[in-house]
Structure 1
């Protein structure tokens, strides 16, 4: 029986296991993650914005499929209640500035990776450039500010990624998938035909080891994937180039203020600050805010080791006070529900790796010179 070992138990690893259960027995699937607490990076601290067509043309088909699957999953498993799935109106917001008032367009948005380059993802939105519209009630507006509707709710949605991952984990475990954590894949073993046969898994909280059959090995560890490859395949070189991009985020609640029945996503351009914040009003009445990123922050050994930078959090709090309105007469500050730092995997080519690696790419010399199941 084919056995699959998935390294990484975040959103990619879990969703892979979820759909793989339809193709093979759940008991033949193993998830391995070194963090003592799961979802401590992007899988728990991301914004949860889901779009049908906001993608590089090379990813258009995959993006559309992902959007439709999110809707199906929510419909089949009460996603609105369990992980806050909701369609949302998506707008672009730009405060009045001298540059915009003069009619000049300094966006400079090209065809590269918007995340790596510190731009707004709204620059890669497909279809219409939008139309003038009404701002969400919680957005602090001033005379001369511009709000452009990018999507009226037919092609964008929101989820709470932490709750979505929690659902997927619960579902695959109930189906019989084996979850090993905190644990690492220590080594791989091949059979007499030079084909992948098993892996050794070490539990980091006890140093116990177990050998598990493995026909396929999937690397889904996000920004930590290159480190895992170097550990398991020291002669591989760099068959995939993935860099970590640190991003801080806040989840805030506005005292005494209801967000309304309609959820909104807001993509901002703050030219004076050189930032492109993103705000997502989630179904549970909180607002997620991000947009302070750094490519110079060293990648932590484990996701749980990442420590937010107070200067970056202070910037986000200033942005929150600038952009989120309080009810008239309200004297309380915004309540910070959660602050976090996560590392997003980014690539120079601007699209993810979904590929099978050949033995020669892994630095493995075999008689057949074929594909090693990775």
Structure 2
């Protein structure tokens, strides 16, 4: 009997990857007839958060209910990178993390020092406790590396990709043992390729329109329909389990499949614009020989992250990641301009049409202030940055601020009985979808197979 995963983003892919691995390792006759499908309504994958997010990874920046999952996922990211040359294939690298602190007298009162990671304290992060991390008390900068001659640095030793801010100070809040970065789209492409090698079937331009039941009224499969108007088609697929992992589209998928349910999946969209650029001051990956090597090669590439508070140059809290792409190509991603009122489009490929030029213009101005070529005096920084891409992401945020993982009780299914299978959900990861992806995938695969989970996710299950 089959499992169908609805949603081809990083959560759905991670679930399929670990489920296929465990099924491939099994030698039972049942596994030989087992099928695994990923169903994606869009004609292309990774057109929202999974393809355009910042790619920041954290070991322990989470509330207690998420801490175990976060630690597992961080370990899996490192292990995957070591096994499959993640630094060159999807830009995996340990990340030095800064908070930009500025005097913010006009906004927050006399003498207050606004910190860049303040936004993380609002229920989704333990960033205020990162002083316990390995780098936080050292205030070490890139010039401490034996290879500092390979990179451009500011006079204070901070990486020159970030322009010194008047009245601002970069404070170290975490290091590359506790934080890392990836290029999300390239990680997703790797997972997709591996899934296909293990026999996972991927259906694009396809949506599930209703559940099927057997003669006893128990759930037995899904009716699928093409979303391509030029190639209309409908067909049935038998399956034992369905995983709802469609990001912000998850509540919509659930309502379509279970129209008689009085329950709603408590996930809302948080949209965010971003911009990715190249900088002349970040053209070689940072190298830190004092840290453990990742990937087994000679390189030990290091990325840099910066969190900024609202201030005179921007009214929101921008975050910027000097990260790597394939084969050590360097780029700077900047986001933080978020919107909670944008409507979710029908398909993920429609997100591009919703990019607001004024928001991109605003982000560009912020990027130049943070990373443009500094001029003497009070002149504005010079915009010498090359645009790589402009994007809009929709992140799924749950009502509790924590992911929803696990099987849905029958009482929520509007009269549908599941028999020997189940309807499962993996959504609501908010801004932590990339960092929690691999841990979520492993835990969901273990739940589906009836195994003990590798992380304690008891407080993340749907009650």
- In structure 1, what is the Cα distance between the partners aligned to 2:129 and 2:271? 23
Which of the numbers 46, 55, 67 marks the counterpart of 1:60?
Answer: 67
Residue in 1 aligned with 2:305? Answer: 265
Which of the numbers 149, 158, 162 marks the counterpart of 2:181?
Answer: 158
1:197-228: CA deviation from partner (whole Å, max 9, x where unpaired): 11121122222222111100000001011111
1:161-192: CA deviation from partner (whole Å, max 9, x where unpaired): 00010111111112110101110012211223
Which of the numbers 273, 276, 279 marks the counterpart of 1:254?
Answer: 279
Which of the numbers 320, 323, 335 marks the counterpart of 2:367?
Answer: 320
Residue in 1 aligned with 2:317? Answer: 276
- In structure 1, what is the Cα distance between the partners aligned to 2:275 and 2:5? 30
Q: Contact 2:131 / 2:173 at 8 angstroms: preserved in 1?
A: no
Matched, 1:289 2:334: yes
Residue in 2 aligned with 1:117? Answer: none
Matched, 1:43 2:90: no
Residue in 2 aligned with 1:11? Answer: 10
- In structure 2, what is the Cα distance between the partners aligned to 1:327 and 1:98? 24
- In structure 1, what is the Cα distance between the partners aligned to 2:169 and 2:5? 46
Matched, 1:180 2:184: no
**Gap change, CA 1:185 and 1:247, over 3 Å in 2:** same
Residue in 2 aligned with 1:355? Answer: 406
- In structure 2, what is the Cα distance between the partners aligned to 1:340 and 1:50? 20
- In structure 2, what is the Cα distance between the partners aligned to 1:140 and 1:54? 26
Matched, 1:302 2:310: no
Q: Contact 2:218 / 2:419 at 8 angstroms: preserved in 1?
A: no
The 5 Å alignment of 1:1-374 reads 2-24=1-23, 25=31, 28-98=35-105, 102-104=110-112, 112-114=122-124, 123=127, 126-128=130-132, 130-131=136-137, 132-134=139-141, 135-205=158-228, 206-255=231-280, 257-258=282-283, 260-261=285-286, 262-272=302-312, 273-283=314-324, 284-306=329-351, 307-326=354-373, 333-364=384-415, 366=417, 372-374=422-424
- In structure 1, what is the Cα distance between the partners aligned to 2:416 and 2:226? 29
- In structure 2, what is the Cα distance between the partners aligned to 1:164 and 1:29? 20
Q: Contact 1:359 / 1:370 at 8 angstroms: preserved in 2?
A: no
Q: Contact 2:13 / 2:192 at 8 angstroms: preserved in 1?
A: yes
Q: What's the offset of the Cα at 1:326?
A: 2.6
Q: What's the offset of the Cα at 1:133?
A: 4.7
Report how many aligned residue pairs link the two structures: 366
Q: What is the SS of the residue equivalent to 1:142? A: coil
**Gap change, CA 1:84 and 1:260, over 3 Å in 2:** closer
State the Cα RMSD in Å: 2.6
**Gap change, CA 1:175 and 1:9, over 3 Å in 2:** same
* Structure 1, unpaired ranges of 5+: 115-120
- In structure 2, what is the Cα distance between the partners aligned to 1:111 and 1:263? 23
- In structure 2, what is the Cα distance between the partners aligned to 1:146 and 1:44? 32
Higher mean displacement: 341-350 or 21-30 = 21-30
Q: What is the SS of the residue equivalent to 2:21? A: coil
Q: What is the SS of the residue equivalent to 1:313? A: helix
* Structure 2, unpaired ranges of 5+: 24-30, 142-157, 287-301, 425-463
Q: What's the offset of the Cα at 1:194?
A: 3.7
- In structure 1, what is the Cα distance between the partners aligned to 2:96 and 2:323? 12
- Taking structure 2 as the reference length, the TM-score comes to 0.73
1:307-330: CA deviation from partner (whole Å, max 9, x where unpaired): 211111111001001100438899
- Taking structure 1 as the reference length, the TM-score comes to 0.90
**Gap change, CA 1:33 and 1:279, over 3 Å in 2:** same
Q: What is the SS of the residue equivalent to 2:193? A: helix
- In structure 2, what is the Cα distance between the partners aligned to 1:111 and 1:150? 14
- In structure 2, what is the Cα distance between the partners aligned to 1:88 and 1:146? 18
- In structure 1, what is the Cα distance between the partners aligned to 2:120 and 2:43? 40
Q: What's the offset of the Cα at 1:298?
A: 1.2
Q: What's the offset of the Cα at 1:127?
A: 5.0
Q: Contact 2:92 / 2:183 at 8 angstroms: preserved in 1?
A: yes
